[in-house]
Amino acid sequence: MSDYWGVPEQVYELSLLQFAKKELSEIGYTVLSEKVEVCSGAGAMTLTAILKKGDFRFGLYIRDGPKQRKTRGPPIIWMLMVLPEMKTAEDLRNFILNHPVDFNILLAPENTILKDRKETNLKKIYTFLYDSMIKDLYSSGLSSAADVLRERLRKIIELRS
C-alpha cells in the first residue's frame, strides 16, 4: 500500500492494525508493514505484520476465526523474530507459508521475557480490535463472515478518509 493508513490500493488489501493506531503508539509501537488475509466462508483471519519499537523490529502473527475459537480456544498471537532479509509483512508471510510446521520455532526470539511482554501487549490490543470489530460476526454464525468483515473494514476506512 502506498499510503499505509489510507484506503488500500487494491480491492483485496486489508488493514486491521490501523484501527489500533492510538493504542499501538501509546506503547511505542510503529507498524512498518501488515498483511491481513480473510478466508472465505466463516472468516478465518490471519494477520502478519512487522512492527518496530525504537530500533527493534519484530514480527507479529495472529491466527483467528470461529473454528480456531471453537476447537482450539483463543486466537494464536505470536511475536516472531524478523530476519534481516524480511523487509515487509509479505516477506514474513512467505516464510511462514514455506515453513508451516516450524516457523514459530525458527523465528522464536531468544529473549523469552521480551517475547512474553510483547505478546501480552499485543493480545490486549487484538482483544480491543476483536471486541469492537469482529466478535459479533463469529458469534452470529454467518456463513459469509469473511465478506462482511472485508466490507466493514473498507467502510470504516472510507468514513475516516
Q: Once rounded to an integer, what is the mean pLDDT over residues 8-18?
A: 64
Enter the C-alpha cell of residue 61: 502473527
- DSSP 3-state of 54: coil
What pLDDT, on the 0 to 100 scale, is given for residue 120? 95
- Per-residue pLDDT, 23: 92
**Over the stretch 103-151, which tens digit does the pLDDT of each residue have?**
999 999 999 999 999 999 999 999 998 888 777 776 665 566 667 777 7
Q: What is the pTM of this model?
A: 0.82
Q: State how far the Cα of 13 lies from the Cα of 34, in Å rounded to an integer.
A: 10
* Domain layout of the chain by residue ranges: 17-152
Confidence of residue 161 (pLDDT cuts 50, 70, 90): low
CA angle 45, 72, 117 (to 5 degrees): 75
Would the pLDDT of 44 be above 60? Answer: yes
Cα four-point dihedral sign 86, 34, 134, 141: negative
In this predicted structure, what is the pLDDT of residue 8? 44
Q: Taking 60 as the threshold, does the pLDDT of residue 5 lie above it?
A: no
Average pLDDT over residues 6-14: 50
**Which among 53, 57, 56, 48 has a CA at the least distance from the CA of 16?**
48
Percent helix, strand and coil across the chain, each to the nearest 5: 45, 20, 35
